[in-house]
Structure 1
């Protein structure tokens, strides 16, 4: 099947904006699209082509929100999502199943300002404060005792264990993030243009999209959609587990295509965990993974931090392992 045209309702200029998806209108249009292009329901597909969208949410993808991923161009996530929507529409008859992860947070989490205080009771400044083992050992930062029913001594011991685990495991150090992707808030929602494309695909192919929550545990981070950064406390008690059901779903694909935000963080960490699972089963399975490099951008805060090099290094490592680094305009689906 050749690539399909872009439906008239898609307007690239609106990808960076908030608006309501007109579900009923799009449902009718998708049914007409199905008939016009003779699309088959996914139940009749001979293969399984899955598209994994990592955290394509307002909080990361729109300029007025908390953690807009601008990349070096300053418009990274917007430009990525224009290409992503076009990729979905062009390949509507080839993509069988869309899976979207949703970064999901609450107020009191280990990477939010309210979790920590200094000796004056002041919370750390988000976006620029990292907390290292020596910061806890020196007393520069401590866990806020007013926001937990646990013993401050136990929480301090856990916090020290946590940041030490990050350091020992070669993870990014604990960065205090602005409040973002708050459950129930508009930032948590998918970007409207991408949500619309997912909905349109679902109606046209009779395919129910899947949605996977990540990052909602108080005492650990979840850059990866497949596993938390730290899984046990200082006593060895489990505080988070791998998402085995999602891992199984992804590995059952004949072809798995991945896009989303941010390339340097949640995308890279997810793909890294997926690669670990693949190498434990059969390294050749990496060949069925396709990374849309023009539908993802790294975290770049001008004058503060630029994770482009880390993102590039991760993708080079994935390519060396057998994964395919491609563009959304490439003809990658049989």
Structure 2
């Protein structure tokens, strides 16, 4: 394994990171094979120190300006700037990163956090960003849309309504954010669901150069629960006491086997924070010292900031400081030679 930082391939164009385009796979595969020979990049299977890179929801829906939930951060183009650095980090450290796992927020229209799921007495659906409280569900201000029952619960509307009240109560009971109605985003089969083109290209180039298959992890496709963290849905048990979802034990095991695990993605205040928090919970239940092998790329993630509406920057910073206190490393991609070698 070659541990020095590599040059960035000439095909990488920072100006295109904010755009959607088709990756020329065959051409990149040939270039990656040539790159491996030129720089003596060995197969990842030969690595003595296994380094994993977890990319959380680096998808068009969160990372491309104009898409549904673009994460602008403080600068207004945070996710784009993050992904320029992320791509450069992957290329420069190609010979060190053993494997890449990418989480994919994955939705269909009829899910508990989308407008069509809910309706009021006037036949109106809630607007995106509406917060639905237990009191509103109990009073019938917001009810499950009867028309979605056939698709979700086999036509059993009452069971679905019971679940809805149980669900919002569970969020409150466990100190979670209130149920947020999100705009339709990361829709399965659509452009918004795909990885950012430039990042996908970098991941593919790594796959061929290091001869190691990238892992793609679906999350968020359960219609009955939110799934901010890739490791643990927001609610696991339904109103009838039966499981509706389960934590992702297989991925947890996979991630904790690395000697070093690097985490980046969107958004710092939401899916990244929840995923790391769940990982930390698992670590504490096994061996708290395992936190020391987690590295958080602070310059490759941004918080949700909607000017004049909401700013989660302070919460994100406080959460990351808590992770650091637990033993995790807060690092910058541009200083990888200091902490990755």
Distance in 2 (alpha carbons) for counterparts of 1:13 and 1:230: 40
Runs of 5+ in structure 2 lacking a partner?
none
CA distance in 2, matches of 1:276, 1:235: 27
* Mapped partners of 2:247, 2:139: distance in 1: 33
Shift of 1:156: 2.1
Say whether 1:136 aligns with 2:137. yes
Task: After TM superposition, give the deviation of residue 152 of structure 1 in Å.
Answer: 3.1
Aligned equivalent of 2:297: 292
Q: Which residue is 2:49 aligned to?
A: 47
Alignment equivalent of 1:263, drawn from 255, 268, 273? 268
Cα distance in 2 between the residues matched to 1:185 and 1:148: 24
Distance in 1 between residues matched to 2:309 and 2:89, nearest whole Å: 33
1:220 matched residue in structure 2? 225
Counterpart in the other structure of 2:36: 34
1:99 corresponds to which residue? Answer: 101
Q: Distance in 1 between matches of 2:79 and 2:95?
A: 25
Give the aligned partner of residue 77 of structure 1: 79
1:56-84 deviations in Å (ceiling 9; x for gaps) = 00010001211100112110100000000
Find the aligned partners of 2:68 and 2:212 in 1 and give their Cα distance. Answer: 32
Distance 2:163 2:83 in 1: 39
CA distance in 2, matches of 1:329, 1:258: 14
Choose from 155, 171, 174 the match for 1:166: 171
Which runs of 5 or more residues in structure 1 are unaligned? none
Structure 2 CA distance for aligned equivalents of residues 228 and 300 of structure 1: 24
Alignment root-mean-square deviation, CA: 0.9
Query: After alignment, is 50-59 or 152-161 more displaced?
Result: 152-161
Separation (CA, whole Å) in 2 of partners of 1:22 and 1:9? 11
Instruction: Say whether 1:185 aligns with 2:190.
Output: yes
Q: Give CA-to-partner distance per residue, 1:164-206, whole Å, 9 cap, x none.
A: 1111111111100000000000110000000000011111111
For the residues of structure 2 that align with 1:185 and 1:124, how far apart are their CA atoms?
23
TM-score, normalised to structure 1, is 0.98
Q: Match for 2:126 among 120, 124, 130?
A: 124
Task: From 89, 92, 103, give the equivalent of 1:90.
Answer: 92
Deviations 1:189-237 (A, max 9, x none): 0000000000111111111100000000010000000010000011211
Instruction: Name the structure 1 match of 2:340.
Output: 333
By how many angstroms is 1:283 displaced? 0.1
* Whole-angstrom CA distance in 2 between matches of 1:152 and 1:29: 55
Distance 1:33 1:247 in 2: 32
